[in-house]
Structure 1
Amino acid sequence: MLRLAAGDSLTPQPRNIAKAKPDGHLDNARGNIDTEIDRVTLYLCDLRSQRNNLSPISKLPPELMSRVFSLCASAESHPRFRGHVAFDSLTVMPEWVKVTWVCRRWREVAIGCAALWTKVDFSSSKWTAEMLKRSKNASLVVKADLTFVSPRLVRTVELATSHISRTRELELLAPKQTLEALARQLRSPAPFLESLHLSSSRFSNHLADGPCSLPDDIFEGQVPQLRRLELYRCRFKWNSPLLSTTLTHLHITEASNHNPARPTLSQILPLLQGMPLLQSLHLEYAAPVPSMDVAELWVPENITLRNLTSISLIDVPHNCAALLSRLDLPSRTDMKLTCLAPAGTQDEFSRILPILSKHYAPTEKGDLSIQSLSIEALDDTRMRFRGWAAQGILPRNGDHFTLMDGTGPRDDITPRIDLVLSWHTWSIDKPARLIESIAPLLSLEHLQTLSVKGFEYVPKKVWVDTFGKLTQLGVIRVSRSVAGFVDSLYQDNGSELKVPMPGLRKIQFEGADLAEQVNRINVFNVLQRNLTSRIAYERERDDDVGNIQVISMTRCSGIRDDQVSSLRRILSVLWDGLVGYGEDTIDLDEFQYFGEWAHWPDVEGELEDFEEMFGLPF
């Protein structure tokens, strides 16, 4: 390699190499020229390296540069930068690899940093082998989606899983046959494995593809560091060593309620009792079925899970209730239940009511009390309750929400309660009865924000009896039918509670039909009458009880300019100015761009609907 010395010329002097060969052998002349080009190229590279060494960034120590490169790689793997995809792509090389192309020093530092190459990429078998080599003996993160891939890529993943002895995270999504073949290769101990996620894909060439069966001797039963276990459509024995005492997260998902591999209570309760570190438990169609077997009757009544912060169950109501009734949960545990009542059942959800009443009983400190509540009709036979121990939360699309201070959309505050109820037979009064029976069990004394969305009708009695005495309730948002709510704002029938919801300060109508009828009177006229009565009641008592200050109307139908003007004489009105707009109005812009925070359809749920209709995995 050339180096500049004192007195050296900065520009190499070209020589007439062709004249040095008077015999005319052109091949030799060309070879000499190529040699000279290589020499000059190396000379220029050396000059560039010397110049780069004089730049300020070259003075950074290698440890700091390695840290910067690692942050670059981790930022790219964040869902915000990868389109919210759960599994990594198998076809695109990571962008952060370009740091190795900047200069010689950056390349040396990057290649020498083993931790930078631990998240294995599967763009090609050669690239995978190179990453495994550069990672040296560092712990690996292996994540691969093999749903639609060639056998060559499967062999590439097998190359990575052969390093299971130093793998920290293993995440595989594949059709049944592929996943079973990969699982059979996992026969050696995994002493450093902390997270295992195996998912049997439903999108294979066989519509009737069943769940994957995991071998009994997977990892030779040696996973001493396993913290997180997530299995989707994977069958295993309930005494498997994968169900380790070190687990902090246990997520097991089956495809449907017809799961013959469910555990018994006598199996799952001692198993959970032996997981003292468990923080998150998710069981989808994997809860035990209640039995009158003698062995079941000898199971201890209560199992205490002291460190559990969240529990999620998706199942028929009596299965959910059977398990929850045997668990002693900390009061801080967030509960997510999806109860799918079978056809032909009566009083489907009565068994979960005592569980809700016990878990959401008022606490001494009151710091876990529900301050924001959302009640939403998902369709004619499904509804959802969500409650947060934080004020000012107004749900938007999906699991995103905004806060009353204007921040959002957000999804970083977990609901204390997330309850989805599904039944088979439509009934107009079913949602109202469920609101009356469930909402009071959630201890709503500190409720400040309420959202009621999408219901065909919620009667006045439900509003008054359920929410009428809540003195801290200050904001209510109602969409679709508002007749029952408007009628509940004032009672002139001799009732002691003339002004229900006395702390109410702000009303929001979104997508509401203000042309509804209340006892054959236009709902807008009833609204104006009741607001006037509340103001008169306030003046009569000389206090601000029932003093509603603001009402906002967005995308509402059945409203006119003159009605808004008359309402503004009573209180402040925020109106978007749209006339004749309703929930059923089609806005073509909604089909063009949904934005980063869009809520896309639940494909998994749609697949389950097809399965129910046709009786097979679809």
Structure 2
Amino acid sequence: MWTIPTQRLLDGKGDSPVEVHCERVEQRVLELEKEILALKAFRNTMSRTAALPAEILSDIFLYVAFDCRLNCRPAAWIPRVTHVCRQWREVAISSPSLWTDICFRTPELMQLMLERSRNAPLTLSHWGARTRGDRRGDLPILRTALNHISRTQSIDFSTRNGLGTLGTLLTQWPAEPTPVLQTVILKDEKDSFSFPGSFPSEVPSLLYLELYGCKIASWKDLPLGIKLKVLGLHAHASAQRRPTSEEFLVALKRVPSLRKLGLSHILPVNQYTAPLTPTGRPPFVLSEVQALGLVDQAPALINFLRTVDISNVSNLEIEVAGRLGDHASLDDLFAALALSWKPVVDAGPKFIGIREEYSFANEDTIQLIEMRFGSSRDRPQTLRFTVRNSGPTISSALGAIKRHMDLSPVRSLAWRGIWMRTASCDVFADLPNLEKITLDKTDVKSFVRALRGGPASDTTPFRALESLSMRNVDFGDGKPRRRAAIDAAAVTFGSLLAALQSRPDPVPFIEIRDCRYLRDSYRRTMQELLPETEVMWDNSEMVSDDEDD
């Protein structure tokens, strides 16, 4: 059963002193452990993965490393590929590209990866880490990494320690060429940092530049070039230094290949003096930009839109920062937008969506008006207009939009999570092509009143309506007591039925899904009173007809 040396030790317990016999047993254990290691190593050489070329293994390791970084475990891949067998370890250590995405968890790990990456292009990504107990914060470790700037391909530094790390780092930026640098992302969540500082003004390969919390000290020294595709300049709302319109436009002229532009709290406020073109268009054209995001005060936004032609933009996002002061500013804003984005606005939107969502960046709730335009099937255009608590209301924004845009092409309206006011309903009631309306997590009383129309009205509201979907609607009007909510739902649902019955042409399709405080009998009543309407009633919270207090 046992090997001969082992059997002899097991049988010869009394042939020698106990201490001597224990030493022989221990020696035998060590011999067996060595044999086991040798057998396992030999077995590994016969595995299927051992037959893979080193290049294939290296590619697999790259995928493992990428997956670990994707799951916020940037160094977890190292033991997974280097502590398995000798072959894997040798392949990993001899693959410089595997070590180029530098991990800053410890200075020792960073230095190890810098050495093993040899001369391969580096990716330096350091997001919000803080050195505990060290008031210098991230500065020493970032400065060490930048000693390799000449072979760095991507930089993504984000700090939140309130120590002015990026500002200090930019004053000490290495004076070395950056021939392979393509991506630069710098973000300070608490402080403003001056840019460019000692950052080089000539970065020949730069494709992507994003700055968050920046104060542009010199616009002419920005590292802008003909290859740049993405530019984001985002200052904190309290930033004071803004460019003149002339400085700003000169900077834009330096990036003729730009495809995506984002600007926050950094637009010039002085009016550009150049006249409009003979066709009445803004004098400066963003010819290649496809995506544009603007966050600023109303005067700065209006000035930008009156100066810059954004006809070629497909994805436009606008947010008015702070209070407007009066509705005239909102009218001026959408009038300027209609001028700057004229071909798209003239084509008219096909879809309007109003919804509420949580902004993780600002830790507050925002309201969005999204519009999809149909001037091009191959490249649809979208507008996202953001409304915050301190800014304009949804109703006032929709009113200004209607005054300066032709909404007659709108075919679909989706309203989600925001209280629907009468003024908002009035914006859409007379649209001739509005076929589909979806109401989700909102009050429907104002819509029902608008659907019924006024006594003196000689036109049918929502006359093109073919599909009405109500989802997650509280027909109980938010009443805290169940009986009061059931009674309120009865009134609202009765008004809805009356409004639908009074229409000269029936609505072909109605969906009621996951709604609250509707009685069992309401579905049958709707089907009886609206025989030509297809009713889909699904998963709503039903109230028994014989329910009492």
TM tier relative to shorter chain: 0.7 to 0.9
Partner of 2:156: helix, strand, or coil? strand
Match of 2:91 in 1: 109
Q: Given the two structures, how large is their TM-score scaled by the length of structure 2?
A: 0.78
Is the counterpart of residue 164 in structure 1 residue 149 in structure 2? yes
Match of 2:385 in 1: 419
Q: Is the 8 A contact 2:475 2:493 kept in 1?
A: no
Deviation string for 1:477-513 (max 9, x for gaps)? 2543322322333558575643624242232143344
Match of 1:435 in 2: 398
Is the counterpart of residue 562 in structure 1 residue 521 in structure 2? yes
Is the counterpart of residue 189 in structure 1 residue 177 in structure 2? yes
Deviation string for 1:88-112 (max 9, x for gaps)? x7xx732464122222212222222
Query: After the TM superposition, which of the residue ranges 65-74 and 438-447 deviates more from structure 2?
Result: 438-447
Match of 1:128 in 2: 110
Please give the alpha-carbon distance, in whole angstroms, between the structure 2 residues aligned to 1:381 and 1:16: 79
Match of 1:326 in 2: 307
Shift of 1:385: 0.6
Match of 2:510 in 1: 550
Does the C-alpha gap of structure 1 residues 97 and 441 become closer, same or farther in structure 2, counting only changes over 3 Å?
Answer: farther
2:526 counterpart letter in structure 1 = L
Match of 2:482 in 1: none
Partner of 2:502: helix, strand, or coil? helix
Match of 1:452 in 2: 415
Is the counterpart of residue 498 in structure 1 residue 486 in structure 2? no
Does the C-alpha gap of structure 1 residues 414 and 58 become closer, same or farther in structure 2, counting only changes over 3 Å?
Answer: farther
Does the C-alpha gap of structure 1 residues 331 and 488 become closer, same or farther in structure 2, counting only changes over 3 Å?
Answer: farther
Partner of 2:219: helix, strand, or coil? coil
Is the counterpart of residue 65 in structure 1 residue 28 in structure 2? no
Please give the alpha-carbon distance, in whole angstroms, between the structure 2 residues aligned to 1:56 and 1:77: 27
Q: Is the 8 A contact 1:338 1:421 kept in 2?
A: yes
Q: Is the 8 A contact 2:515 2:541 kept in 1?
A: yes
Shift of 1:344: 4.0
Does the C-alpha gap of structure 1 residues 215 and 445 become closer, same or farther in structure 2, counting only changes over 3 Å?
Answer: closer
Q: Is the 8 A contact 1:212 1:233 kept in 2?
A: yes
Q: Is the 8 A contact 1:343 1:423 kept in 2?
A: no
Deviation string for 1:102-141 (max 9, x for gaps)? 2221222222221111111122222111111111111111
Please give the alpha-carbon distance, in whole angstroms, between the structure 2 residues aligned to 1:70 and 1:138: 14
Match of 1:303 in 2: 284
Q: Given the alignment, which residue of 236, 253, 256 partners 1:273?
A: 253
1:165 counterpart letter in structure 2 = S
Match of 1:285 in 2: 265
Does the C-alpha gap of structure 1 residues 12 and 93 become closer, same or farther in structure 2, counting only changes over 3 Å?
Answer: farther
Deviation string for 1:258-311 (max 9, x for gaps)? 4221111110111112201111111111111124xxxx5258852222221111
Please give the alpha-carbon distance, in whole angstroms, between the structure 2 residues aligned to 1:311 and 1:328: 12
1:372 counterpart letter in structure 2 = F
Please give the alpha-carbon distance, in whole angstroms, between the structure 2 residues aligned to 1:505 and 1:381: 30
Does the C-alpha gap of structure 1 residues 442 and 386 become closer, same or farther in structure 2, counting only changes over 3 Å?
Answer: farther
Is the counterpart of residue 375 in structure 1 residue 354 in structure 2? yes
Query: After the TM superposition, which of the residue ranges 177-186 and 97-106 deviates more from structure 2?
Result: 177-186
Is the counterpart of residue 387 in structure 1 residue 371 in structure 2? yes
Does the C-alpha gap of structure 1 residues 273 and 60 become closer, same or farther in structure 2, counting only changes over 3 Å?
Answer: same
Does the C-alpha gap of structure 1 residues 345 and 378 become closer, same or farther in structure 2, counting only changes over 3 Å?
Answer: farther
Q: Given the alignment, which residue of 485, 496, 511 partners 1:527?
A: 496
Q: Is the 8 A contact 2:311 2:343 kept in 1?
A: no
Partner of 2:221: helix, strand, or coil? coil
Does the C-alpha gap of structure 1 residues 241 and 40 become closer, same or farther in structure 2, counting only changes over 3 Å?
Answer: farther
Please give the alpha-carbon distance, in whole angstroms, between the structure 2 residues aligned to 1:33 and 1:496: 106
2:150 counterpart letter in structure 1 = S
Match of 1:592 in 2: none
Partner of 1:193: helix, strand, or coil? coil
Shift of 1:416: 0.9
Please give the alpha-carbon distance, in whole angstroms, between the structure 2 residues aligned to 1:36 and 1:158: 54
Q: Is the 8 A contact 1:245 1:276 kept in 2?
A: yes
Partner of 2:496: helix, strand, or coil? helix
Shift of 1:454: 4.6
Q: Given the two structures, how large is their TM-score scaled by the length of structure 1?
A: 0.70
Does the C-alpha gap of structure 1 residues 182 and 46 become closer, same or farther in structure 2, counting only changes over 3 Å?
Answer: farther
Please give the alpha-carbon distance, in whole angstroms, between the structure 1 residues aligned to 2:41 and 2:288: 56
Partner of 1:163: helix, strand, or coil? helix
Please give the alpha-carbon distance, in whole angstroms, between the structure 1 residues aligned to 2:265 and 2:391: 22
Identity, in percent, stands at 20
Is the counterpart of residue 225 in structure 1 residue 205 in structure 2? yes
Q: Is the 8 A contact 2:263 2:294 kept in 1?
A: yes
| Equivalent residue runs for 1:567-578 within 5 Å | 567-569=526-528, 570=530, 571=533, 572-578=535-541
Q: Is the 8 A contact 1:314 1:337 kept in 2?
A: yes
Q: Is the 8 A contact 2:443 2:477 kept in 1?
A: no
Shift of 1:453: 3.6
Please give the alpha-carbon distance, in whole angstroms, between the structure 2 residues aligned to 1:267 and 1:447: 40
Deviation string for 1:451-477 (max 9, x for gaps)? 224554532x75355353343522422
Partner of 1:307: helix, strand, or coil? coil
Partner of 1:66: helix, strand, or coil? helix
Q: Given the alignment, which residue of 74, 84, 104 partners 2:66?
A: 74
Q: Is the 8 A contact 1:142 1:169 kept in 2?
A: yes
Please give the alpha-carbon distance, in whole angstroms, between the structure 2 residues aligned to 1:364 and 1:250: 25
Match of 1:173 in 2: 158
Partner of 1:213: helix, strand, or coil? strand
Is the counterpart of residue 340 in structure 1 residue 321 in structure 2? yes
Does the C-alpha gap of structure 1 residues 259 and 493 become closer, same or farther in structure 2, counting only changes over 3 Å?
Answer: same
Is the counterpart of residue 483 in structure 1 residue 445 in structure 2? yes
Please give the alpha-carbon distance, in whole angstroms, between the structure 1 residues aligned to 2:252 and 2:105: 40
Shift of 1:155: 2.9
1:182 counterpart letter in structure 2 = L
Please give the alpha-carbon distance, in whole angstroms, between the structure 2 residues aligned to 1:561 and 1:33: 83
Does the C-alpha gap of structure 1 residues 344 and 359 become closer, same or farther in structure 2, counting only changes over 3 Å?
Answer: closer
Q: Is the 8 A contact 1:308 1:330 kept in 2?
A: no
Q: Is the 8 A contact 1:214 1:235 kept in 2?
A: yes
Q: Is the 8 A contact 2:398 2:427 kept in 1?
A: no
Shift of 1:328: 1.7
2:182 counterpart letter in structure 1 = E
Shift of 1:360: 5.6
| Equivalent residue runs for 1:580-599 within 5 Å | none
Please give the alpha-carbon distance, in whole angstroms, between the structure 1 residues aligned to 2:166 and 2:445: 55
Q: Is the 8 A contact 2:313 2:381 kept in 1?
A: no
Shift of 1:553: 4.3
Does the C-alpha gap of structure 1 residues 309 and 522 become closer, same or farther in structure 2, counting only changes over 3 Å?
Answer: same
Q: Given the alignment, which residue of 219, 226, 234 partners 2:214?
A: 234
Shift of 1:436: 2.8
Please give the alpha-carbon distance, in whole angstroms, between the structure 2 residues aligned to 1:322 and 1:328: 12
Is the counterpart of residue 355 in structure 1 residue 336 in structure 2? yes
Please give the alpha-carbon distance, in whole angstroms, between the structure 2 residues aligned to 1:12 and 1:213: 78
Does the C-alpha gap of structure 1 residues 341 and 548 become closer, same or farther in structure 2, counting only changes over 3 Å?
Answer: farther
- Count the aligned residue pairs: 501
